[in-house]
Each structure stands twice: as structure tokens, then as C-alpha cells.
């Protein structure tokens, strides 16, 4: 009897094993698609990016470090997204170090991104990065500034910063009556634009024998730092300064604040001031007569036009010879045109958009 029970038990075990194997065999086809399912998960965003699906266009907008200018450029990038339905990877790095930019852009390229609108951290150093990426079919456009020539970047969409700085200096000297002492406030010294702006101001001042730059300050990263440095330099030169010029966003805001406080505290020396960009503090200072004016760049156009050019390049267009620099334009805002300067600069963007295919590109 016991032997019979053992035999019966063994038979049951065998049957159970056979059934388990059969069930496992039936389940295998369900488990097998796990890898394709993962592929579908990665491909799903592409379905929301018409251009990527059609032409493998995977664009990136990259800025090296946080700065108010880049927030204005981002508005143009986002407008391009809204107009085209093309999703753009938008990244802002941690600092102005070229190594940081290299690491992050190389990582993005390894992920399959193949079109970059970039503000180069270093005008020379960025070229080494570009020379690694462009042979792999990656298109690169500089926005806001240019890398040193020659470069494998296809275009630079930017303000002619030297021309803008010269215009700012001319406006300041005119307001000063063609004579007097100037304080020149620079911003990020590593920024390639700072070098050009410094050159532009010095070239204009050299044309006026009765105008002197009595002090230059720079290496400014934040508004707080700028307020401290501008306040100190004005205090040290308050008995002889006639004008102050800033060609960076943060020092322009600082000049507006410091001069405003000087006037509020009864300061009676006439100090003319010209800045750059359109922070509300600067624009209010112009309205109140504390500052004479500001250079209005076209950061919206820097963002929108650089992305549009990348799209055209992905569609097979090529840059025309000698069409590398796309001048996005600038204006000079004063009390007289505070209500109209923005419309003027947007009209410039629309005009350039209409000219891109004929003036800058060919197939």
C-alpha cells in the first residue's frame, strides 16, 4: 500500500512538472516583447516631434551658464517650438568653463542629438569641440557670439557687438558734450563678446581727444556683485566722472540702481549713463532721466533664427559662401522711443526670417 502511494505521488509530481513546463512555454511569447516595448518607450517622444521623424532632426539649444540674456534668448527658442511643433532640448550649463561645455555637449551628441545652437564658452576652445562633432554629421550654429575663425560652425546669429558698443560709446560721448571722463564697466571677462565690446569703446574714445577712460572694471557675474563694484568705483571717482558705460546686462542694471540711489540721496553731479539690454530697472531709469539710453539687442531673434537655420540645414540646405554671420540687429532706446523700440526689433527678426533662404542658404 505504501509503495502504491509513493508511485501515485511520483506520478502526480511528473504531471505537475509537465504542466509547469507547458505553461512556461505558453508564457514565453508574452515576455519576449519586453525589449521592443522599451524601444517603443524611447520612440514615443519622436512621434510628438514631426521634424525628427521626417528628417532625424534632433536639435539642442545650449547656453554655458545662467544669465538673464539667455532667458530672453529662450523666448525665441520657445516661439520656434510653438510655430513648428519641433521639440528642442534646452540646457543651461553650470559655468563659463569650456571643459564643462565639452562634457555636456559630447554627452548630448552620444544620445543622438545632431543639431546644436550654442553660445560658445570660449571663442577659441569651442572650435576644438566643434571639430570633433561636425565630422559626424552634426550641425552647429553659434548664437549670441562667434567662435574664432576659421570654425566648423555653419553660422553665427548675433548682434554685431563691437558695432553696438561703438554706438553706445558715441551716444554717451554725445550726451557728455564731446568731452569728459568715462568709467567703462565690463562684465564676464571670459566672454568673447566682452573683448570686442572693450575694443569698440576704446576705438571710439580714441577719436575724441577730450575724452578719457579714467577707470575700467570687470569680472562681474551677478547683479549684487555689479552693484558693489559700480558703487565703489563711483564713490572713488565721484568728483571727476562725467559718464559711465556698461556693455553687459548685469552692470547695466547696477548702474541704474546705483545712480538712482545717488540722485535720491541728493547727489548733484551730472553723470551720463548708457547701458545694454532692456531689464525693467534700466528702462525705468531711462524713463526717469537717470540713464540716457540702452542698446537693445535682439535675443529673441538670436534664439528663433538659430533654430530656424538648423532646421533648414537638416533639410539639405547649405550655407552660402561668405554668409557665416547673421546680424540680428540692434537699436538704441531713449526716452523718445520707449514705446516703439520693441516693435522695431521684432520687425528686424521677421525681415531676416524672410531673407534666410535667399541670402544665407542654398541647395
The Cβ of residue 36 has, within 10 Å, a number of other Cβ atoms equal to 10
Per-residue model confidence as pLDDT tens digits over 38-86:
222 223 333 333 333 445 999 999 999 999 899 999 999 999 999 999 9
φ and ψ at 25, to 5 degrees?
-65, -35
Query: What confidence score (pLDDT) does residue 55 get?
Result: 57
Query: What confidence score (pLDDT) does residue 196 get?
Result: 92
Per-residue model confidence as pLDDT tens digits over 176-187:
999 999 999 999
DSSP output for 155-213:
EEEE--HHHHHHHHHHHHHHHTTS-EEEEEE---TTSHHHHHHHHHHHHHHHT-TTEEE
Query: What confidence score (pLDDT) does residue 192 get?
Result: 82
Q: b vs e for 215-225, b when ≥16 Cβ sit within 10 Å of the residue's Cβ?
A: bebbebbebee
By the 8 A CB rule, do 207 and 234 touch? Answer: no
62 three-class SS: strand
Q: What is the C-alpha separation between 122 and 151, in angstroms, rounded?
A: 13
Task: Enter the C-alpha cell of residue 67.
Answer: 544669465
* Residue among 143, 129, 124, 126 nearest 59 (CA): 143
Task: Enter the C-alpha cell of residue 324.
Answer: 557665416
In the chain, alpha helices (H): 2-31, 34-47, 50-55, 68-84, 98-110, 125-133, 161-175, 192-206, 223-237, 249-264, 280-287, 299-314, 341-355
Give the burial class of 289: count Cβ atoms within 10 A of its Cβ; 0-12 exposed, 13-18 middle, 19 or more buried. exposed
Lay out the sheet containing 59-63: strands in order across: 89-92, 59-63, 115-118, 139-143, 155-158, 325-327
DSSP type of residue 331: E
DSSP output for 131-153:
HHHGGGT-EEEEESS-PPSS-S-
pLDDT tens sequence for the chain (363 residues): 433 333 333 333 333 333 333 333 333 322 222 222 222 222 333 333 333 344 599 999 999 999 989 999 999 999 999 999 999 999 999 999 999 999 999 999 999 999 999 999 999 999 999 999 999 999 999 999 999 999 999 999 999 999 999 999 999 999 999 999 999 999 988 788 899 999 999 999 999 999 999 999 999 989 999 999 999 999 999 999 999 999 999 999 999 999 999 999 999 999 999 999 999 999 999 999 999 999 999 999 999 999 999 999 999 999 999 999 999 999 999 999 999 998 888 899 999 999 999 999 999
By the 8 A CB rule, do 272 and 175 touch? Answer: yes
Q: What is the C-alpha separation between 236 and 232, in angstroms, rounded?
A: 6
Q: What is the C-alpha separation between 103 and 133, in angstroms, rounded?
A: 12
Query: What confidence score (pLDDT) does residue 29 get?
Result: 28
Amino acid at each position: 500500500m505504501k509503495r502504491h502511494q509513493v508511485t501515485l505521488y511520483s506520478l502526480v509530481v511528473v504531471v505537475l512538472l509537465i504542466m509547469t513546463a507547458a505553461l512556461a512555454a505558453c508564457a514565453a511569447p508574452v515576455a519576449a516583447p519586453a525589449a521592443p516595448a522599451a524601444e517603443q518607450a524611447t520612440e514615443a517622444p519622436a512621434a510628438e516631434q514631426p521634424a525628427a521623424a521626417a528628417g532625424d532632426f534632433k536639435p539642442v539649444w545650449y547656453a554655458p551658464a545662467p544669465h538673464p540674456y539667455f532667458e530672453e534668448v529662450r523666448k525665441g527658442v520657445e516661439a520656434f517650438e510653438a510655430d513648428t511643433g519641433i521639440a528642442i532640448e534646452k540646457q543651461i550649463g553650470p559655468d563659463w568653463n569650456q571643459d564643462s561645455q565639452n562634457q555636456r555637449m559630447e554627452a548630448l551628441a552620444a544620445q543622438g542629438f545632431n543639431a546644436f545652437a550654442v553660445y560658445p564658452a570660449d571663442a577659441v576652445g569651442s572650435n576644438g569641440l566643434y571639430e570633433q562633432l561636425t565630422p559626424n554629421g552634426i550641425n552647429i550654429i553659434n548664437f549670441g557670439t562667434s567662435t574664432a575663425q576659421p570654425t566648423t560652425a555653419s553660422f553665427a546669429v548675433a548682434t554685431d557687438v563691437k558695432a553696438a558698443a561703438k554706438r553706445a560709446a558715441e551716444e554717451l560721448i554725445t550726451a557728455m558734450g564731446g568731452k569728459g571722463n568715462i568709467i567703462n564697466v565690463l562684465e564676464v571677462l571670459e566672454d568673447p563678446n566682452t573683448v570686442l565690446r572693450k575694443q569698440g569703446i576704446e576705438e571710439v574714445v580714441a577719436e575724441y581727444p577730450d575724452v578719457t577712460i579714467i577707470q575700467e572694471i570687470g569680472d562681474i557675474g551677478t547683479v549684487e556683485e555689479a552693484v558693489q563694484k559700480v558703487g565703489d568705483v563711483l564713490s572713488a571717482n565721484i568728483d571727476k566722472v562725467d559718464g559711465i558705460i556698461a556693455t553687459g546686462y548685469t552692470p547695466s542694471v547696477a548702474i541704474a540702481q546705483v545712480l538712482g540711489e545717488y540722485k535720491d540721496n541728493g547727489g548733484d553731479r551730472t553723470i551720463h549713463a548708457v547701458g545694454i539690454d532692456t531689464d525693467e530697472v534700466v528702462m525705468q531709469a531711462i524713463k526717469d532721466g537717470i540713464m540716457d539710453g540702452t542698446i537693445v539687442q535682439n535675443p529673441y531673434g538670436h534664439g528663433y533664427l538659430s533654430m530656424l537655420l538648423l532646421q533648414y540645414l537638416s533639410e539639405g540646405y547649405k550655407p552660402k559662401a561668405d554668409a557665416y554671420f547673421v546680424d540680428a540687429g540692434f537699436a538704441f532706446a531713449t526716452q523718445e522711443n520707449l514705446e516703439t523700440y520693441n516693435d522695431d526689433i521684432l520687425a528686424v527678426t521677421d525681415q531676416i526670417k524672410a531673407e534666410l533662404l535667399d541670402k544665407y542658404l542654398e541647395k
